[in-house]
Structure 1
């Protein structure tokens, strides 16, 4: 392939993906706005018109904000690539760092500079989303003091973990020959497993407090549920999610013997004991159907293919030139190749994302069906409705938008499936 051909292909793919995203977003906004005036019939007895309209307004506000951030992101991507941003940054960092500190320091400095500049470019959007949009609809609980503390902790964790991992990857790329990508894949998989093991006890507590679940009746019910399902966890914990957001959730974290069940305090404050049990039964359904293992294996396979592709592309001069970068003649190009690959891959893979969304929705249906076998389907339906209302999730999404983006089925489809799994719901 010639460099001009890649440039044209990249520009065409970026334009096609951007137009598709705009089309989908505007479809979603028009569909939600058109159905704002009345609660859908299946929810008329459980969701108030005020709650329905609040969800519609939240969806529309996020949609408008998303259009702006989407356009800005496309401009930034063009700036980094075809307009020479990466090339200029690379030359500046190389000339400043390599003569004094060597090739490895130069490449790490390039990655760090790119991450810092990217973070600064995204900062206004992040601040607006947190302190204006989420604040407007009553979701934000984040203070400026907490935001700054989170930011500093994130930078520290990123430096302590990210820089050594990046250094290892760059060393592998430069020292292990043509099959470096296979060695890099092994190191990346080991790192991911280590994160799964260490995140619950080392990383997560840096940002949140985790207290043992104190409600004895709920503890007994949850333990009985896990016993029925053949699931063992190291502990049941409540996380202080309310200090950042009013959104509610529950999740499993960890791997093997380090698995933990974590409830947001916001979830426990909104749901009954039976509803919490039903939500947990849904999460257990993912483990029962091995969804987590399947997703991890899929991630491993995809990362292997991606690294193999990067291993080939990094040896092709047209890959750099076609994306606006002049390869270094006196320094390694591994960091440049890595940055370019991470920037352009989402553009070319955008149109296969609906396949992963479809698979995720199927997993959610399977987990719901399992929850109906192990707990109350009525409680699960009630919990879903409460969470939809409290999170201001629209009940009337555009069907095409759903098929393209939604990792979870919309409420109407989930409740219909629950009614089939638990016939009493249909009565």
Structure 2
């Protein structure tokens, strides 16, 4: 059984690395073509950024493969020998916490390089060492407190029920729903500064838009995302009574009212089309499959890893091998997501205008330096959103014949 998982991980590593190499080659060829969607300077800069990100991803994949070999070769058994605790749930908490902390520490160089080197080079990251340390401490405290409680609860379920994987799925699925409900509140209290929109005219327009589609929220907020990153974004956070509209301060600064409403109209399209519930359902099905597989692993697998078939080892094995299943399920999930994005674009453009949505997407692409072209295989595996070229085509725009710089300038003059 262990051999099957090793072969699966090797295939995952090969496919993952191969798609990155294909993407780099594709972008290098596309880089010399006539710029589309982005202006000339940002087209080249976005290409360079995309290539550097993929190179970093390849390095990270090789590194993860080495860590995988080390963990299954002797890491798990060595950690098991260090954590000699009789209580099954305390051992699980200590073992899994140490496993996660060691992994985080070993992969920290990649995070530091991405944040303080790569993203600063291309004008994205505003992160300071002090803020990074502050965020890390807060995240660590949340993990040690709430993560440990979840680990202890799962350990209890594994040790108590013969069909623990069913009850484990129910518990974890409920935890994920709870986290989604509390996410905006946690971000507000511990990480970001949420404020009511200072632009009351914009706030009124957004409230009218929400009322038009029947979206009930606890308010419209601006968040100081620029203290960490210059990219533009917006999201609907929370579930039930905690639902709120969150706009990055960078988005409010860069987009006109009409463009903002077009972006929110797209997001409301997901709400109106039931995509949020569909995504929760898909996530539930995927999780159930995961728990079914990892809840019925034979003792031979754990014997091969030199650990016991007990809660601490089951959780660690789940964390090591679940990325494999996620990767090979990704194309199906991404395909469904891309379909939903087209429908949301149509809904958003009907709420506002196609011109406003296209202009907003242009600004987002230019400010976020999103290279508009990708290898088909890369799109197949990784793109949860359709390429902008295809989105514009569905909206009735041919990127090869339209002058997008003119559209942007026209929109700017109209503000």
TM range (shorter): over 0.9
Deviation at 1:193, TM superposition (A): 2.6
Q: How do 1:140-289 residues align onto structure 2 when only pairs under 5 Å count?
A: 140-175=125-160, 177-289=161-273
Cα–Cα, structure 1 residues 138 and 233, in superposed 2: closer, same or farther, change >3 Å?
same
Shift of 1:92: 1.2
Alignment of 1:67 onto 2:48: no
Task: Report the Cα offset of residue 7 of structure 1.
Answer: 3.1
Matched, 1:355 2:332: yes
The answer on whether the counterparts of 1:222 and 1:277 sit within 8 Å (CA) in structure 2 is yes
Give the TM-score, by structure 1 length.
0.90
Return 5+ residue gaps in structure 1 as ranges: 1-5
| Mapped partners of 1:227, 1:104: distance in 2 | 48
- CA deviation map 1:52-84 (0-9, x unaligned): 000001001111111101100111011111x12
**Does 1:84 pair with 2:84?**
no
Paired position in structure 2 for 1:400 = 377
Cα distance in structure 2, aligned partners of 1:231 and 1:167: 37
Q: Distance in 1 between matches of 2:53 and 2:230?
A: 16
**TM-aligned CA deviation for residue 108 of structure 1:** 1.0
The equivalent of 2:392 in structure 1 is 415
SS at match of 1:178: coil
Q: Which residue of 1 aligns with 2:98?
A: 113
Cα pair distance change 1:304/1:400, threshold 3 Å: closer
The 5-angstrom pairing of residues 46-65 of structure 1 reads: 47-65=38-56
1:93 and 2:77 are equivalent in the alignment:
no
1:365-422 Cα distance to aligned partner (Å, 9 max, x none): 11001001111211111111111111111112112211221111111011111127xx
Deviations 1:198-255 (A, max 9, x none): 2222344311000001112211211121122111111000010000001110000111
Q: Is 1:137–2:122 an aligned residue pair?
A: yes
Distance 1:392 1:157, change over 3 A: same
Deviations 1:266-316 (A, max 9, x none): 111111110000000000000011111111122222222322332221xx2
C-alpha displacement of 1:128: 0.5
Instruction: Give the 3-state SS of the residue equivalent to 2:236 in structure 1.
Output: strand
Contact 2:88-2:155 within 8 A present in 1 as well: no
Please list every run of 5 or more consecutive structure 2 residues that lacks an aligned counterpart in the other structure.
408-415
Aligned residue number for residue 293 of structure 2: 309
Whole-angstrom CA distance in 1 between matches of 2:285 and 2:18: 32
User: Number of aligned pairs?
Assistant: 401
Counterparts of 2:139 and 2:320, CA distance in 1: 22
For the aligned residue pairs, the C-alpha RMSD in angstroms reads: 1.9
